[in-house]
Chain A
Amino acid sequence: MPPVVRIEHLTKHYFLESVTVRALCDVSLTVEQGEFVALMGPSGSGKSTLLNLLGCLDRPTDGTYILGDDDISHMDDDRLSEVRSRYLGFIFQSYNLLPQYTVVENIEVPLLYQGCRITEKTRQRCIQLAELVGLGERLDHRPMQLSGGQQQRVAIARALVNDPHVILADEPTGNLDSRTSEEIMQMLIRLNEAGKTIIMVTHENDIAAWAKRVIRMRDGQIETDDRNTEPRIVQDVSSAFVSALNSLLSEAIQ
């Protein structure tokens, strides 16, 4: 099976008025299907730049990025948008839900831009996803009416709705207390158990300890790339959740 993400000699320079900021220098990285990668590093190490490039929100100055079967490095803005809507799922630190939409409507958004019509069937799927992340009771609530943990679970459901190749999580627990963080991480682990590839940026060792692979960055380069031999595991990987998720995603609408 080919790797999901393959980047080679990726470089990103920012050109500010007179200075050139070398945010990323010649980074190469391969992520296989089903991996759970934690990107770590101090601020300014280039981890956010790398995540933006992986998320197709930005284009590299140099190097190649192959996501699935597609070479992303030279795509125009519209094609990149299409890639984001089809193959990527985003989870942000500040949840980033649309305040005027309800829970279900928020989950639907990626489908909207994928160019598929919102039908009763897709609506049903979004409701099932909301139930899967434990928000079955709050389908018609707006983000303002939800707690941080609940909002992040909506964001997770939204990241799953298009059955992405990769889920990119930017400090998903950064705004949450430790108990809620634990819940969210357990949910991510379950997604990973169900076969989802996750790349997560964090600066907390506790959180990184859940991941199977930890990449540390410094000054725009990869410093270490370790397999986590004893990742924290979820005690009760409920097979019901995994199979429910799998069956949901297998009937994904493309």
Chain B
Amino acid sequence: MKTSLQRYLLLWDTSRRSFVLALRSLWLHKLRSFLSVLGIIIGTVSVIMLMSFGEGSMRDALDDIKRQGATNVIVTSTKPPDDASSGRRVMILNYGLTYEDYEQLLLLDTIVGSVPMRMFRQEIRNLHRMHNGRVVGTTAAYENVNRIELVDGRFLNDSDEADEPGDDNEMRNVCVLGADVAEALFPFQSAVGQTIVLNKHHFVVVGVLKERSPLTNAGGVADDYNSDVYIPLRTCRGRYGERIFIRQSGSRTGEQVELHQITLTISDMEKVRDAGEFARAVLKRRHGFKKDWTVTVPLDRLEEAKRAKARYMMLLAVIAGISLVVGGIGIMNIMLATVTERTREIGIRRALGAKRWDITQQFLIEAIVQTTVGGTLGTLFGVSLVFLFPWLLALFRVTLPAQLNVESIFLSMGASLSVGVFFGLYPAFRASRLDPIEALRHD
């Protein structure tokens, strides 16, 4: 009687032989094997690439939200839909958040920071140079809440006490430029200390911001912060008044908006949702049916993005599954052809004493070796594409966020292995059921 160790060694021996044999016949029919595992290769490549690009763009989106601040509540003014029923042409639209709204919102005790903002498009001039940008009237708190980084000078400053000196309290004509504005107006010199003209008013540049990546705002539009000019809110009120006129293709429309956006920073992530609810309640009470405001809680979007990611991954898994099944059918097809082609070999082996299981095992291992080799090739190819693709696209100034998803490697390798087992089983079984006499006669 054989001991279990001997039996184990024997199994190891025969599997190894089948493995070597499989590799040999793979090598013998290089082109055919390549074509038959092409499905598997494409399958694994697509799984790895899609998962990696999915992971990359999802990470970008999450970063976006994190930059908006997970502890922030963002309240924005929105233009109410045109009241078509009234039929009256309104020259000046009056809507949005007011200073009073702002003060009411500040009553919430979990607020640790707040930034009111006014924003409108404006030509920014310095002598003959001009840049179409956006003027943002805000307070010094903007710097901390939005994690501003400066390359030169300082941001707007001011003090909590109304009588202390500061940009805002003294209604100074100072401004901080976004990176693109500074580049456009002062290409050959430092902007700090220079003067720019906004709507006939002169402003002294006190700082220049580092380039900021665009952020998808509540409306789904990417804000380009680099064309911003930041001025003190009070200065803004003083110089512009409450009405802002916009020239647009010959016609003039005006709007009267006190504040375009209020960003509230809440002390604790746990309390952000409650704060959002509070803001909604306050504004509902104060604005009634006039729906000219929106409350965005980035934290909600974080959750939403996480759910979207889960859905996306599910979809990818389905695609991967389909492509691997298609690949598996290719393997099964070629294995069935191989079994027919090698019927005589099967007959010889059976005559020389191979049991049915020996034949099954031989062809099964061959199928597994094929799919695993295919899976490995696909993985290598896919991983290199993940690194190569963004680099290639960068040459055309297209950014593609890619983050190698390690799970996808294990997933696709495991999947190609099991595809080999699953789709190799039937051909192997067929091979083992051949009648030795018939098989020997086959040519």
Interface residues of chain A, those whose CB is within 8 Å of chain B, are 52, 55, 57-58, 77-78, 81-82, 84-86, 90, 92, 96-100, 109-110, 112-115, 117-118, 158, 162
Contact = CB atoms under 8 A, between A and B. Distances in A.
A109 B346 CA distance: 12
B356 A84 contact: no
Interface residues of B, number: 27
B437 A85 contact: no
Given A57-B436, A92-B440, A100-B21, A82 B14 contact: no
B353 A96 contact: no
A77 B21 contact: no
Given A52-B437, A57-B436, A100-B25, A113 B10 contact: no
B155 to A, nearest CB: 76
Nearest to B353: A85
Given A55-B351, A58-B437, A113-B354, A96 B14 contact: no
A137 to B, nearest CB: 23
Nearest 3 CB-CB pairings of A with B: A85-B353, A113-B353, A81-B355
A84 B351 contact: yes
A100 B22 CA distance: 11
Interface in B306-362: 344-345, 347-358
B13 interface: yes
Contacts of B28: 100
A39 B353 CA distance: 23
B30 interface: no
A204 B10 CA distance: 44
7 contacts: A81-B350, A85-B353, A85-B354, A96-B344, A96-B351, A98-B345, A100-B24
Nearest to A79: B355
Given A55-B351, A84-B351, A113 B358 contact: yes
B9 interface: yes
A85 B350 CA distance: 9
Contact of A113 (B9, B349, B437): B349
Contacts of A84: 350-353
Contacts of B355: 77-78, 81-82, 113
B17 A112 contact: yes
Contacts of B437: 52, 57-58
A112 B24 contact: no
Contact of B13 (A98, A109, A117): A117
A118 B351 contact: no
Contacts of A115: 2, 10
A115 B348 CA distance: 17
B10 A82 contact: no
B352 A110 contact: yes
A73 B9 CA distance: 32
Contacts of B351: 55, 57, 84, 90, 96
Given A84-B351, A113-B358, A118-B17, 20 more contacts: A52-B437, A57-B436, A58-B437, A77-B355, A81-B350, A84-B352, A90-B352, A92-B440, A96-B344, A96-B347, A96-B440, A100-B21, A100-B25, A109-B349, A113-B352, A113-B354, A117-B9, A117-B10, A117-B13, A118-B13
A37 B382 CA distance: 64
Nearest to A55: B351
A90 to B, nearest CB: 5
B294 to A, nearest CB: 72
Contacts of A77: 355-356
A85 B349 CA distance: 10
Nearest to B354: A113
Given A52-B437, A115-B10, A86 B353 contact: yes
Contacts of A98: 345, 348-349
B27 to A, nearest CB: 10
Contacts of B350: 57, 81, 84
A99 B17 CA distance: 16
A130 B176 CA distance: 92
A92 B28 CA distance: 26
Given A92-B440, A98-B348, A110 B13 contact: no
A112 B361 CA distance: 14
A84 B347 CA distance: 13
A78 B344 contact: no
Contacts of B17: 112, 118
A57 B348 CA distance: 11
* Max chain A C-beta neighbours (<10 A), residue from B13, B353, B355, B358: B353
Given A92-B440, A100-B24, A82 B353 contact: yes
Contacts of A90: 351-352
Contacts of A118: 13, 17
Nearest to B16: A118
B442 to A, nearest CB: 11
Contacts of B2: 115
Nearest to A116: B10
B324 to A, nearest CB: 29
Contacts of A52: 437
A81 to B, nearest CB: 4
A52 B437 CA distance: 8
Contacts of A81: 350, 353-356
Contacts of A112: 14, 17
Contacts of A92: 440
B259 to A, nearest CB: 82
Contacts of B25: 100
A112 B14 CA distance: 8
